[in-house]
Structures are given as C-alpha cells and as structure tokens.
Amino acid sequence: MNLVLTGSTSGIGWETLLALLPHFDRVFLPVRNQSKAEKLIQSLQGKEKIILIPMDLSLMAEVKKGAASLISQCDEIHVLINNAGGMYPGGKCSEEGIDLSFATNHLGHFLLVQELLPALLKGKARVIQVSSEAHRIAQNPSKDFSLKKSSNTVSAYAIVKLYNILFTKELISRYSSEGLTSYALHPGAVRTAFGSEASAWAKGLIAFTKLFFISPKAGAATSIFLATTPKESLKNGGYYKNKKLSIPSTLALDSQLGKGLWDFSVKEIGRVLGNAGPEKQEEND
C-alpha cells in the first residue's frame, strides 16, 4: 500500500504521518524544504519507507516536475491526503503570478491529482482533502475563481476551503465509476503555526482564538480515520467532522459551481504552464 501526504513536516500533517507510517509499505512526501524534512524523519521508526519528493505546491511547474518524479517511482497509489495549506494576505501572489491562497490551497493539489491520476485510478485510491468549517462563510466565487479581486485574508481562506469540498465532489462525479473515492474534512481549530503568513489583523484573531484550539494530534484524527476506515463504512464524496459525516454549506453542494471551478482550474494551469497542463485528460473525460 502506497501513501502520498502533502504538508507533512508540521502540525496535523506530521501527526498524520506518525499515525499512518506503520500502515503503508511506502510513503511519498512532497516537501518544499527537503533538508528540514530529512532532519525530521531521521528519528522515525520506519523511515526507510519514506521517499521525499521536492515540491512547492504554490508553483505549478514544481508540482508537475515533482509529480513526474513520484509517478516514475510508484505506478499505484492507494491514499492521497492533500493536507498542505495556509492563510495568506489577500493579493499576495506566487512567483508564477497566482494568488498564493488559491495556488497553495487548491490549484497545486488540483494539478497534483491530475498528474497522479493514472496511479490513483490503478490503486482505486481514496483522495482526502483537508478543508475547514471556514468554508461556510464563503461567498459565491464564480466571478473570481482565481481570487484576483480578493483583498481579505479570511474571506479568501474561506473560499479556498470551499474549493476543497467542491473538488472532492467533482472528483467522484468524474471518477467514482473507476473505483476512486474522495472525502473532505474539517480537522478542528488546531494549535499550530498556521496563519504565520496571514495579515496582521488575521494573526491577532488567530492568536486570541488559539486559547480554544485543539492539539495537532487531535486535529489529525479525522484524516487518519478517513485513511484507515473501510470504504464501505464511509460516504463517497462526504464531508467529515470529528470522524462523523457532516452536511457542508449549500455552495459546497452546488455541482455547477464545482464543474465551473474544475474547468477554470484546467485553463489556469494551461495558461501558467504554456498549455502543458492537464487539458488532454479533460478531452478524454
């Protein structure tokens, strides 16, 4: 059994790695800082099962390159957990000119799934998206999927967490017939370094509310639950909170919005990579 886990070097990603490492034969970790990751895993029992893949999820060229490296070493993936994410000041862009919240929380993972799709389908994988209850305050983003007009840190974060759920549901509408399952989850308000790059007022809000936050270990519980529970006991496309099925917002259930996001994401990747994105796969859908 093969696992791919993003955002594994801190917070709930690290706790997820610790819990799942014994359950898998190989664990692939896309990491932005390879030296940091190498130091962290040195003390782990089972570290020989870990393969580090250099990848910055905010840069589509790096995602494509890293995914090619990963798939050259692994043609069958059984679980992919898209855990990486962050809260960034509105208007802050990646080196490729993409809004950083959009790139890191959605578009990088979207491209990663597209590039790994043959291995995911071969492994009849489960794809797990770490979303948030913050999605409930999101406004309809259909006129600004890329968040170019958004200048508010919290509203941008809410929208990209909505995207995680829309992506989950659109994935199963396209690929459940081929054995793919996908789930989204709210990890809880977790006490980590999350929000360290947010705007000043958002940092203040996070600092205050951390008084009520749970530990990273508790925050990883639902990810671990979805990765290890028999599929028959889970709802394909479901949104989970505290290891239980929950009903997301009305917007998160809007299939047309999900299709619109998917189509926009394909075009945006094609634009950034010079039409070297996943359009070919789209033509075959």
| pLDDT score for 254 | 97
Q: What is the mean pLDDT of residues 103-130?
A: 97
- Tens digits of residue pLDDT in 83-111: 999 888 877 899 999 999 999 999 999 99
**Domain 2-279 sits in which CATH superfamily?**
NAD(P)-binding Rossmann-like Domain (3.40.50.720)
Confidence of residue 23 (pLDDT cuts 50, 70, 90): very high
In this model, does residue 21 exceed pLDDT 70?
Answer: yes
- Tens digits of residue pLDDT in 143-188: 999 998 876 888 899 999 999 999 999 999 999 999 999 999 999 7
In this model, does residue 208 exceed pLDDT 60?
Answer: no
245: exposed, middle or buried (C-beta count within 10 Å: 0-12, 13-18, 19+)?
A: exposed
Q: Worst-scoring range by mean pLDDT, 21-35, 135-149, 179-193, 224-238?
A: 179-193
Residue of higher predicted confidence among 209 and 137: 137
Confidence of residue 283 (pLDDT cuts 50, 70, 90): very low
Confidence of residue 216 (pLDDT cuts 50, 70, 90): confident
Confidence of residue 218 (pLDDT cuts 50, 70, 90): confident
Question: What is the pLDDT of the chain when averaged over all its residues?
Answer: 88
